């Protein structure tokens, strides 16, 4: 089921249904030098993950429309591609880092550019 990934996966998949929040997160990460792939919800992210082999980190919101939330997406990503690092964010939920599969990180909203960049660096 898993797509073969290169040893040097470099892109960050940002999954956020709120267009403005996604745009801000993408801008923060691009300004820090990351290559970004965007998805509006977990179902779209799941499709992208099957199509691309360069995803090295997942930065996902918890609450989104579609068939799965961000925590479910993170679990499925961990099961299918354990080399992808995980960062989960939410403005409504407070999760412990231990609630994220594979020692992933939780970043509460609102977050600053430094917090997002640091979380991705810590995850990778």
pLDDT of 102 higher than 50: yes
What is the reported pLDDT for 4? 44
Element (H, E) at 105: strand 105-108
What is the reported pLDDT for 1? 45
| Residues 29 and 12: beta-carbon distance below 8 Å | yes
What is the reported pLDDT for 9? 53
- Higher-confidence residue of 62 and 7: namely 62
What is the reported pLDDT for 100? 86
Give pLDDT tens digits for 56-100.
Answer: 999 999 999 999 999 999 999 999 999 999 999 998 989 876 788
What is the reported pLDDT for 6? 39
Taking the alpha carbons at both ends of the chain, their separation in whole angstroms is 23
As its CATH architecture, domain 13-34+42-52+62-123 has 3-Layer(aba) Sandwich (3.40)
- Higher-confidence residue of 103 and 38: namely 38
Averaged pLDDT score across all residues of the chain: 90
Overall average pLDDT of the 6-24 stretch: 85
**Cβ burial 44-68 (10 Å sphere, 16+ → b, else e):** bbbebbeeeeebbbbbbbbebeeeb
Residues 122, 60: Cα–Cα separation, whole Å: 15
Return the minimum-mean-pLDDT range out of 8-22, 47-61, 88-102, 104-118: 88-102
């Amino acid at each position: 089921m898993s797509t073969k990934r290169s040893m040097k996966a470099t892109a960050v998949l940002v999954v956020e249904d709120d267009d403005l929040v996604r745009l801000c997160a993408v801008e923060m990460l691009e300004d820090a030098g990351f290559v970004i792939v965007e998805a509006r919800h977990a179902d779209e992210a799941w499709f992208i993950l099957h199509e691309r082999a360069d995803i090295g980190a997942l930065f996902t919101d918890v609450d989104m429309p579609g068939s799965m939330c961000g925590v479910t997406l993170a679990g499925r990503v961990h099961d299918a591609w354990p080399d992808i690092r995980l960062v989960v964010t939410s403005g409504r939920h407070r999760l412990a880092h231990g609630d994220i599969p594979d020692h992933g990180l939780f970043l509460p909203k609102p977050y600053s550019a430094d917090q997002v960049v640091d979380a991705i660096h810590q995850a990778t």
